[in-house]
C-alpha cells in the first residue's frame, strides 16, 4: 500500500509553502535527534549537561544537543523571525523580515532519556507581527492563534503528529526511505473515557477539588462514577498525550500547594498550547480550572499553567468539581 509522505501532505494541506518548509525542516532535524537517541550510551548522550535551564531544572546532555540542532535548523530558514525554547532564557532572533515565530521544547520528558524510555520534541508556530529585531512581546499570543502545532515522539517507532489548523494527522518514520509516511489521517478523541494520567504521588498537594475528583475516579464501580478507571503515567507529556490521541483518556498536571505561587508545572507556550491545539483539533478539550488554555493571554514565554486535557466529557466533569 502506498502512503502519502509528509512533503506531499504539506503541499496540499499547509496554508503556505513557507509553513510547509518550516515543518519539513523540523522533520529533518528530528532524524538527527533520533540518531542521537538510538545510540544511547554509545553516543555519550546520557546524563546531565552540568547546567540548569532558566526554570532551574537540570539540563540533560541531549536537551542541549537537541536544542542546538533545532535552533540551527530553524534559524537558517528566512521565514523564521525568532524562536523561543525551553532551553533558552530569552527569545532568539533569526531573520528580521521572517513571518514566523517558533516555540519548542526540544526534548520533552528528558528525565526518560537515561532509562531508554519515550521522549519527544514539541513545537508551535505563530505568525509574526513585528518590525526590527524580534521581541518577547511578539510571542505572547494566545494559543488559538497558532498556525501549526505538533510533536515528534521518539518511541519504539518515531512519529510526527501535526495540525496545520484543521484536524490532526500522524506520520510514522520509515528508516529505510528516511520518510515520514501518513499512518493516521483523522485523529479523533472519544468524548468519554476509562483511563486517566496524573502523577498520583502528588495527590495530597493538589487543590481539594482535584483531590476529590481523582478520589472519586479511584473508587471505581463502587464509587459515584460507577465505573472502573485505568491509570497510566509515562512522565513525558508528549507520550501521555500521544496515548490520549491514540486511544482516548484524560491527562492532568494540576496546581500544587508546595509551590503555591507557581500556576503549574507545564509550560504554556511550548507544552500546553501546542498539545492543546492538537487535542482540540481531535475533538477533545483543554483547560485550566479557570477556562480554555488556548484563550490565555501569555505574560512571558516560560509561563506555567495547570493542565486538564483529553476526552471532552471527562474534562467538563473535572471542571465541574472545581466550580462546585
Ligand atoms: P522533564 O522534561 O524535565 O522530564 O519534564 C517533563 C514534564 O515537563 C512533562 O513532560 C511531564 O508530563 C512532567 O514533566 C512529568 O512530571 P513528574 O516528574 O511529576 O512525573
CA of 79 to the centre of ligand 1 (A): 31
Residue 193 has pLDDT above 80, yes or no: yes
Dihedral (Cα; 107, 112, 115, 117), 10-degree rounding: -80
User: For a substitution probing ligand 1, which of 108, 206, 307 has the most ligand atoms within 8 Å of its CB?
Assistant: 108
User: For a substitution probing ligand 1, which of 54, 59, 86, 111 has the most ligand atoms within 8 Å of its CB?
Assistant: 111
Contact 46, 97 (CB under 8 A): no
Say how many Å lie between the first and final Cα of the chain, rounded: 52
Residue 316 has pLDDT above 70, yes or no: yes
Q: Is residue 1 part of a domain?
A: no
The confidence band for 40, taking pLDDT boundaries of 50, 70 and 90, is: confident
Looking at the fold, whether 162 and 29 belong to one and the same domain comes out as yes
| Nine cell digits for residue 178 | 528516511
* Residue 117 CB less than 6 A away from ligand 1: no
Specify the pairing of strand 195-197 against strand 230-231. parallel
pLDDT digits (tens, 9 = 90+) for 80-135: 999 999 999 999 999 999 999 999 999 999 889 989 999 999 999 999 978 899 99
The confidence band for 56, taking pLDDT boundaries of 50, 70 and 90, is: low
* Residue 108 CB less than 6 A away from ligand 1: yes
CATH number of domain containing 71:
3.30.540.10
Give the relative orientation of helices 17-39 and 6-13 as an angle to the nearest 10 degrees: 150
Residue 228 has pLDDT above 70, yes or no: yes
* Residue 236 CB less than 6 A away from ligand 1: yes
Q: Is residue 63 part of a domain?
A: yes
Residue 59 has pLDDT above 80, yes or no: no
* Residue 197 CB less than 6 A away from ligand 1: no
CATH number of domain containing 245:
3.40.190.80
User: For a substitution probing ligand 1, which of 236, 267, 302 has the most ligand atoms within 8 Å of its CB?
Assistant: 236
Structural domain range at position 64: 6-184
Looking at the fold, whether 267 and 119 belong to one and the same domain comes out as no
Where a domain ends, among 158, 184, 210? 184
Placement of cell 537517541 in the chain: 37
Looking at the fold, whether 97 and 142 belong to one and the same domain comes out as yes
CA of 108 to the centre of ligand 1 (A): 7
| Nine cell digits for residue 196 | 486517566
Give the pTM.
Answer: 0.96
The confidence band for 49, taking pLDDT boundaries of 50, 70 and 90, is: low
Half-sphere exposure of 153 (CA within 13 A, CB side): 23
Distance CA 265, CA 285 (A): 19
Average pLDDT in the chain: 95
pLDDT recorded at residue 50:
67
Residue 51 has pLDDT above 80, yes or no: no
- Give CA angle at 315 (311, 319), nearest 5°: 175
Distance CA 212, CA 302 (A): 30
Looking at the fold, whether 85 and 221 belong to one and the same domain comes out as no
Distance CA 141, CA 38 (A): 36
Q: Is residue 189 part of a domain?
A: no
- Closest by CA to 41, choosing from 99, 114, 101, is 114
The confidence band for 46, taking pLDDT boundaries of 50, 70 and 90, is: confident
Distance CA 70, CA 124 (A): 13
* Residue 84 CB less than 6 A away from ligand 1: no
Where a domain ends, among 184, 206, 234? 184
Looking at the fold, whether 180 and 199 belong to one and the same domain comes out as no
Number of domains in the chain: 2
Amino acid at each position: 500500500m502506498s502512503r502519502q509522505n509528509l512533503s506531499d501532505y504539506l503541499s496540499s494541506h499547509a496554508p503556505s509553502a513557507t509553513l510547509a518548509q518550516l515543518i519539513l525542516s523540523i522533520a529533518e532535524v528530528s532524524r538527527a535527534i533520533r540518531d542521537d537517541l538510538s545510540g544511547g550510551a554509545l553516543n555519550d548522550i546520557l546524563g546531565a549537561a552540568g547546567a540548569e535551564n532558566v526554570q532551574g531544572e537540570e539540563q540533560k546532555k541531549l536537551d542541549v544537543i537537541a536544542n542546538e540542532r533545532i535552533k540551527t535548523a530553524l534559524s537558517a530558514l528566512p521565514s523564521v523571525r525568532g524562536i523561543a525554547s525551553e532551553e533558552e532564557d530569552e527569545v532568539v532572533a533569526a531573520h528580521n523580515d521572517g513571518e514566523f515565530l517558533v516555540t519548542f521544547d526540544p526534548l520533552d520528558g528528558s528525565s526518560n532519556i537515561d532509562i531508554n524510555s519515550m521522549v519527544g520534541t514539541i513545537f508551535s508556530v505563530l505568525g509574526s507581527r513585528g518590525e526590527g529585531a524580534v521581541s518577547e512581546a511578539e510571542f505572547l499570543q494566545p494559543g488559538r492563534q497558532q498556525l501549526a502545532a505538533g510533536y515528534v515522539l521518539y518511541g519504539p517507532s518515531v512519529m510526527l503528529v501535526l495540525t496545520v489548523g484543521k484536524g490532526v494527522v500522524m506520520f510514522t518514520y520509515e528508516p529505510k526511505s528516511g520518510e515520514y509516511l501518513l499512518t493516521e489521517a483523522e485523529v479523533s478523541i472519544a468524548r468519554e473515557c476509562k483511563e486517566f494520567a496524573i502523577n498520583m504521588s502528588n495527590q495530597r498537594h493538589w487543590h481539594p477539588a482535584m483531590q476529590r475528583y481523582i478520589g472519586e475516579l479511584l473508587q471505581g464501580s463502587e464509587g459515584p462514577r460507577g465505573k472502573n478507571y485505568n491509570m497510566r503515567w509515562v512522565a513525558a507529556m508528549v507520550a501521555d498525550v500521544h496515548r490520549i490521541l491514540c486511544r482516548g483518556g484524560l491527562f492532568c498536571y494540576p496546581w500544587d500547594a508546595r509551590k503555591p505561587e507557581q500556576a503549574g508545572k507545564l509550560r504554556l507556550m511550548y507544552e500546553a498550547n501546542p498539545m492543546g491545539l492538537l487535542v482540540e483539533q481531535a475533538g477533545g478539550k483543554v483547560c485550566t480550572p479557570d477556562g480554555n488554555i488556548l484563550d490565555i493571554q501569555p505574560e512571558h514565554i516560560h509561563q506555567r499553567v495547570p493542565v486538564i486535557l483529553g476526552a471532552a466529557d471527562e474534562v467538563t466533569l473535572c471542571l465541574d468539581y472545581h466550580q462546585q
